[in-house]
């Protein structure tokens, strides 16, 4: 558990307890095993066993997709029980005053099962699931009660999270009444007069496992790219898409986003049905702009498909990595230009020689 979260939780618990404990509990301190000043074991009639028992469960679905950012709503319920008690007084017989005091103490002891000022802290042992929320206060719960509104935690699932179960740990901290003692010096028809009540509170804690699940789903990668793209030319690009997930897909269609320096009038290709591990080749006709340079490029694409439950899904962005080469006309054009000049020079030279020969002179053999 994160130390900072634990400290914050304990501080919040202390504040909650101070605010929620009734004034009759004078002398209460939220430190473990700290007795109030007016607590006297010699006046204690019973030692009672049992206490709060807070359970937790997610409200709604606990299955999510990788990459999801969700709010978990967690309901708390106190199932605390009194499991037994022991009498600390062996006097036999006891007088009427002691009988009244025993009855009063037992009525207070029944409150032992109340969880006071609950603070909940959710943590994830797995780095693929991150809890974004800090400690949450849930108020107090008597035995048999549940939260009127769930405690909420923001949780983020990694885009690379493998499918499967991810147990989250919900740590609960609360105050509870550990012991009670009552005393008085007179008994009348109206009850015990001058009665003092000493309440001893302690801090309890529980850890509850909250299971969440990352669903099985398809996942796509471009596993092979072929075809030639050259500056200023139109070419065919062949991209092999493989379903690297663990669920089959139906009627998959891939669409590319042709950004500068690329353009296309053919931005979709049909992949069809793909089982887990199967591949299909998409072919696109792409024009490379004249401003492109010779270097690697990445073209974005996404796949729309139908999952096993008949729902339409769209994949995360899948990049097609390709190389743009020099124009295929670059070398030929550079060669033809000087050759053309040479031929033109020869023709012009021949014309000049012809014009300069004397009339009637035959061309030299």
What are the structural domain ranges in the chain?
Answer: 46-214, 220-325
Count other C-beta atoms under 10 Å from residue 137's C-beta. 14
Rounded to whole angstroms, how far apart are CA atoms 316 and 219? 8
The domain defined by 46-214 folds into Immunoglobulin-like (2.60.40)
Equal fold, 46-214 vs 220-325: yes
pLDDT in tens, 186-242: 665 556 666 666 777 899 999 999 999 999 999 999 999 999 999 999 999 999 999
Contact 232, 290 (CB under 8 A): yes
Question: Which CATH number does 220-325 carry?
Answer: 2.60.40.10
Backbone angles phi, psi at 306, to 5 degrees: -110, 130
Place of tokens 């007016």: 38
Residue predicted with more confidence, 292 or 110: 292
Place of tokens 């107090």: 140
Rounded to whole angstroms, how far apart are CA atoms 6 and 121? 8
pLDDT in tens, 80-90: 887 766 555 55
pLDDT in tens, 109-147: 778 889 999 999 999 999 999 999 999 999 999 999 999
Mean pLDDT of 159-170: 95
Place of tokens 């270097």: 295
Global model pTM greater than 0.85: no
Residue predicted with more confidence, 78 or 346: 78
What is the structure's pLDDT at 200?
Answer: 79
Residue predicted with more confidence, 349 or 223: 223
What is the structure's pLDDT at 75?
Answer: 97
């Amino acid at each position: 558990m994160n130390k900072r979260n634990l400290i914050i939780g304990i501080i919040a618990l202390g504040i909650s307890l101070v605010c929620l404990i009734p004034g009759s509990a004078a002398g209460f301190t939220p430190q473990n095993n700290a007795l109030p000043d007016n607590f006297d074991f010699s006046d204690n009639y019973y030692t009672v066993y049992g206490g709060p028992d807070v359970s937790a469960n997610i409200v709604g679905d606990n299955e999510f997709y990788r990459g999801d950012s969700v709010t978990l709503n967690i309901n708390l319920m106190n199932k605390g029980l009194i499991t037994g008690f022991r009498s600390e007084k062996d006097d036999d017989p006891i007088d009427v005053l002691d009988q009244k005091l025993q009855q009063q103490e037992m009525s207070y002891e029944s409150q032992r099962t109340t969880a006071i000022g609950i603070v909940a802290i959710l943590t994830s042992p797995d780095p693929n699931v991150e809890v974004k929320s800090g400690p949450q206060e849930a108020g107090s719960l008597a035995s048999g009660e549940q939260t009127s509104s769930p405690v909420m935690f923001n949780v983020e699932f990694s885009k690379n999270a493998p499918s499967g179960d991810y147990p989250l740990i919900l740590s609960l901290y609360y105050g509870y009444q550990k012991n009670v003692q009552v005393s008085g010096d007179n008994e009348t028809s109206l009850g015990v007069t001058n009665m003092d009540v000493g309440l001893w509170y302690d801090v309890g804690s529980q850890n509850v496992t909250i299971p969440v699940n990352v669903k099985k789903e398809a996942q796509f990668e471009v596993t092979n790219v072929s075809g030639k793209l050259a500056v200023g030319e139109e070419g065919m690009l062949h991209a092999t898409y493989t379903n690297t997930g663990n669920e089959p897909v139906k009627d998959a269609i891939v669409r590319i986003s042709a950004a500068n320096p690329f353009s296309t009038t053919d931005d979709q290709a049909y992949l069809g049905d793909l089982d887990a591990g199967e591949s299909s080749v998409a072919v696109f006709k792409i024009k490379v702009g004249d401003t492109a340079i010779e270097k690697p490029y990445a073209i974005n694409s996404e796949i729309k498909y139908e999952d096993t439950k008949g729902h339409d899904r769209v994949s995360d962005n899948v990049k097609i990595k390709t190389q743009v080469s020099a124009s295929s006309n670059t070398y030929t054009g550079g060669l033809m230009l000087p050759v053309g000049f040479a031929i033109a020079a020869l023709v012009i030279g021949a014309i000049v020689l012809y014009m300069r020969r004397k009339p009637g002179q035959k061309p030299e053999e």
